Chain A
Amino acid sequence: MKKSRLEVVGKARRRVDGRAKVTGHLKFADDLSAPRMLHCKLLRSPHPHALVESIDTSKAAQHPGVHLVLTRKDFPVPFGIMPVSIDEFPLTDHARHVGDPVAAVIAVDEQTADEALRLVQVRFSPLKTISDPEDALKNPEPRIHDYGEQGNIHRNQSYEFGDVEDALAKSDHVFEDLFFYQGNTHLPMEEQATLALVEGDGKLLVQSSTQNPHYLHRQLARVLQVPAAKVRVIGTPNGGGFGGKCDPANHEMVVAKAALVLGRPVKIGLTREEVFYQHRGRHPVLMKMRTGVTRDGKLTGMHLQTLLDGGGYGSHGPASTFYTGVLTPVTYELPRFKFDACRTFTNKPACGPKRGHGTPQPRFGQEVQLDKIAEKLGRDPAELRLGIVNKPDSLTSNWLRIGSIGLAECIREVVSRSDWKSRHKKLGFGKGIGLACSSYMCGAGLPIYWNKLPHSGVQLLLDRSGQVTVFCGATEIGQGSDDVLASIVAEVLGIDTGMVRCVTGDTGITPVDLGSYSSRVTIMMGNAAMEAAEKVRLQLAEAAAEQLETLPEGLVFSQGQVFHAGDTKKSISFVEAVAFAEAKFGTLGSVGSYTPPKPPGKYKGAGVGPSPAYSFTACVVETEVDPKTGWIHVPKIWIAHDIGRTINPVLAKGQVIGSVYMGLSEALMEEQAFRRLPEKLSQALVHKMPSMLEYKSLTSLDMPEVDVALIEDPDPNCPFGAKEVGQGPLLPVMPALANAIYDAVGVRIDEIPVTPDKVLKALELKSKGLAPRVGPEHFPSVPYPEPIFVVTPQEGGDGKETKKEEKKRAAAAVV
């Protein structure tokens, strides 16, 4: 029998791992050590693009204290997170960016390893540097990789859902805009570290600051050519991830290999500079958006084109490329949608997934363009959006199934709390207020490598002490996934989270969970945990029912007790119930697994974008802009997030505020930008800002007040209805800031970051009577392929791609 109200879920609680974090007990990867441990350092390329002609390690190998030197020849097998982009060797003989590792030294301590690195003699043969996507399109040679679409194009794709040109032609207005979103990096406080050793049973143990121990496990087995069952990966608690610790990394492969060769523990800790080289952060994306609108403010269709700067490796790039478009139709009704995307290789650290993965860039463009549309139509931006929010239980034009949607309530909430109606366009010159919305997925519908297995598994172990141990491969990266796991199990079993011990992220002892990415953990791990807990509750109920002389269905699990629903005086403690069940059934345990629903789309590529549920957010940003200096001050931000159901409000609110922080920091200052060294210094393409001092991020003094509203519209696909909260709330912040600046001083900054110099430049243009806008001026000619055409659900499609000649027929049939 179900409890009438929730006792754990929704209650503010100290997180299960909280105590260890504030006492210094929590062991991050670099806090680990082992007897006879050696240390590893990597020699990194000073050239952005070069072949290693020869490498002489003999002097380094003879340096006192050095145990091993490794190079490319020690690693015959490449790796990569995505099966279509296996393009990295742990140590390379073709450097694709400054910082690409070419050799490794393993020595008694870091100092000795560092000294020996200088004795490795490498002869590089520099190649022409490809510095950005336009450069990559213009120069098919030299190729950075010998795979991909052609030349230096990694991925190139086009999809059309319904006839978009036809939709635009029939629109009352067509808006065409160019936007640019500069790349930026995760900057986790913890620099990546890994400790590899051979355990007493002869098997390899790799403890690493990884978000995805399962994928690392697979790649280690591949690179080391060792059976996966002989490799154990523990994802240590991450000191911040944000996507930066998703890719399996060179340093992890290198120390694992060294530990196997030497039979001794080998550790590496990256320096902050090296973390910038590892990167895998936000792709710089140039965007072109052509959007058709009716005079009453309905969208008719959009043609979105994106051009991504991928950096030197594939990384998650094939997925990132999709994500610069596929979630565009999730927020608002968009009857037709065409999406072209191209990712180029360049000689910079590889880009990959960062919080929001590929989506913040087009969201920025889409939401700024909507602001322009509202302005042109003379409509209030909030009202315009309220008129077009997607319907619950609907299919988007690109075949994504939307379940619950609390967006309208989110918009109303921020409009009311910010006093939007009496402030928008009314604050006077220099002060402004801007609004934007967004939506995000609650977990990727398909795994990164093709398989039919569960995405998350949870195993429970109970014994007569009353202790409940939960095993799951999910990784605690600071977001609170252990607390979510404990809460869900505790809620189902009617106990306190203090009774639950979480064992997570250990491929040696926990069931597979795919990892901490795509905002999937609460939903997928949570559903698996519910299934496991409900199964064991049935056993407990059966045993308790015998004792209480009632039927199992008539029992309630609550507050550490098992009650007779009809007579609450009849009860036994949870601990007693466990002991009775153990006596009746033997050792108690249960498992649960979760696999997301099948995607509704059937066309090639339909696997990227589907999710069990989508979260929605609305945000209002207030700004003060000094027209003399261009300086931007943000006093307050209001944000409402449709979370479905809050598991722990302290943590949920923390995720929202943390997202606002990271979004605002990107919007105002964060840039993973590069410059060429002068000719006499090799002309290499180097980081403008490879340190925490120069790579600006907001501090406690810059952070505005944030008003958070959690909107609860429980989604039936999610555990207790809980949707994601880790990434979605970041997305509307950047466009809301840009829209607020327009409201303040009447200039459009169509690129991120929005910095004072850009505001000043736009104000100068305005004073000269020119278009008051700073942003990209042209979109290069990209050889996008012929689109894969899919008839939309609304126009009677079946989800499959259609032959070109059927396209017009399908459209005509509807008209």
Chain B
Amino acid sequence: MTAVPDRVHLQLSVNGEPAPVSFSSYKTLLEVLREDLDLTGTKHGCELGECGACTVLIDGEPVLSCLVLALECEGKRIETIEGLARGAELHPLQAAFTDLGGSQCGYCTPGVIMTAKALLDRNPDVSREEIKAATAGNLCRCTGYLQIADAIERAAADMRDERRRSERKS
């Protein structure tokens, strides 16, 4: 077994940009994102993999960043809430969440939005049941989940429209 050094330096890929970072090797991806890269948009609710607040995307898949060691993430594509908006314009999920009450206190919001993004990137033609199943691991104490599902449904419709428009153009 190779010994793991106390501190590691590596280059992560975060939101499409290279992110060189040096950190203690025991740190989770969540900790490195928040503490070493100042990306505090990703939240923590338990650090035990129970609540879903820390969800980020790794290679397009939703992952609990509190259960992943950062040093395992070299060479992988990491996406966080900070990278979601298209310049100054909100992503359809972000717009729908804030228009339809999908976000109240906002603490679970980044995790749910990232979970939903993975779902809709795979298939924007989702049913309400699929939305509920995909977000069942993201706890929320404010909304009662219904307005979250409403927001994801609307974003899915908006993304389908976008896709159709861009197909027509090309």
Question: Do A703 and B146 form a contact, CB below 8 Å, given A26-B106, A189-B45, A272-B46?
Answer: yes
> Which residue of chain A has its CB nearest to the CB of B113?
A22
Q: Which residues of A contact B101 (CB under 8 A)?
A: 650-651, 653-654
B132 with A691: CB separation less than 8 A = no
* A676 interface residue (CB < 8 Å to B): no
Take A23-B85, A650-B100 as given contacts and tell me if A657 and B41 are in contact as well, using a CB distance cutoff of 8 Å: no
8 Å CB interface, B142-157 against A = 142-149
Check B43–A661 contact: CB distance below 8 A.
no
* Nearest CB on B from A482, distance (A): 12
A586 CB within 8 Å of chain B: no
Number of interface residues of A (CB under 8 A): 57
- Asked if A14 and B98 sit within 8 Å, CB to CB, the answer is yes
- Whether A25 and B41, one on each chain, are in contact in the complex, defined by CB atoms closer than 8 angstroms, is yes
Distance in Å: Cβ of A677 to nearest Cβ of chain B: 21
Interface residues as binary, A676-715 with B (CB distance below 8 Å gives 1, 0 otherwise): 0000000000000001110001111101011000000000
B22 → chain A closest CB, angstroms:
15
Determine, out of B47-55, B69-77, B119-127, B158-166, the stretch whose residues face the partner at the interface: B47-55
Q: Is the Cβ of B139 less than 8 Å from the Cβ of A189?
A: yes
- On chain B, the residues within 8 Å of A407 by CB distance are none
Task: Choose one: A27, A691, A703; the contact of B46 (CB below 8 Å).
Answer: A691
A21–B43 CB distance below 8 A = no
Please tell me if A627 contacts chain B, counting CB pairs below 8 Å: no
Most chain B CB within a 10 A radius of its CB, from A24, A28, A242, A661: A24
Q: Does B90 contact A (CB under 8 A)?
A: yes
**Closest B residue by C-beta to A239:** B107
**Interface flags, B15-51, vs A, CB<8A=1, else 0:** 0000000001010000000110001111111111011
Instruction: Verify B45–A21 contact, CB threshold 8 A.
Output: no
Complex contacts, B39 vs chain A, CB 8 Å = 24
Closest to B51 in A: A692
Residues of B within 8 Å of A, CB-based: how many?
58
A189 CB contact (under 8 Å) in B43, B137, B149: B43
CB of A24 within 8 A of CB of B143, answer no
CA distance A677 to B39 in the complex (A): 41
Which residue of A is nearest B24, CB measured?
A: A111
Residues of A within 8 A of B46 (CB): 191, 272, 691-692
Q: Counting CB contacts under 8 A, is B104 at the interface?
A: yes
Binary contact track A229-245/B, C-beta < 8 Å → 1, others 0: 00000000111111000
Chain A interface, >50% SS class:
loop
B78 within 8 A of A: no
| CB–CB A700/B132 < 8 A | yes
Query: Which residues of chain A have C-beta atoms less than 8 A from B84's C-beta?
Result: 23
Q: Does A806 contact B (CB under 8 A)?
A: no
Do A697 and B139 contact each other (CB < 8 Å), given the known contacts A23-B41, A27-B40, A657-B144? Answer: yes
Proximity bits, A12-41, B CB within 8 Å = 1, else 0: 001101111111111110110100000000
CA distance A685 to B79 in the complex (A): 43
Would you give the shortest CB distance from A243 to chain B, in whole angstroms?
A: 12
Contacts of B131 in A (CB 8 A): 700
Given contacts A189-B107, A477-B105, contact A21 B145 (CB under 8 A): no
Question: A265 at the A/B interface (Cβ < 8 Å)?
Answer: no
Partner of A18, one of B85, B103, B133, B140: B103
23 contacts between A and B (CB under 8 A): A21-B109, A23-B84, A24-B41, A111-B24, A189-B139, A189-B140, A189-B141, A190-B43, A191-B45, A271-B47, A272-B46, A650-B100, A650-B101, A653-B147, A658-B142, A659-B144, A660-B144, A692-B45, A692-B50, A692-B51, A698-B144, A701-B133, A705-B146
Q: A19-B98, A654-B147 are in contact. List 13 more A-B contacts (CB 8 A).
A: A22-B98, A23-B41, A27-B40, A237-B106, A272-B47, A272-B48, A478-B106, A654-B142, A662-B141, A693-B50, A698-B144, A701-B132, A703-B144
Binding site for B on A (CB under 8 A): 14-15, 17-28, 30-31, 33, 111, 186-191, 237-242, 271-272, 477-480, 650-651, 653-654, 657-662, 691-693, 697-701, 703, 705-706
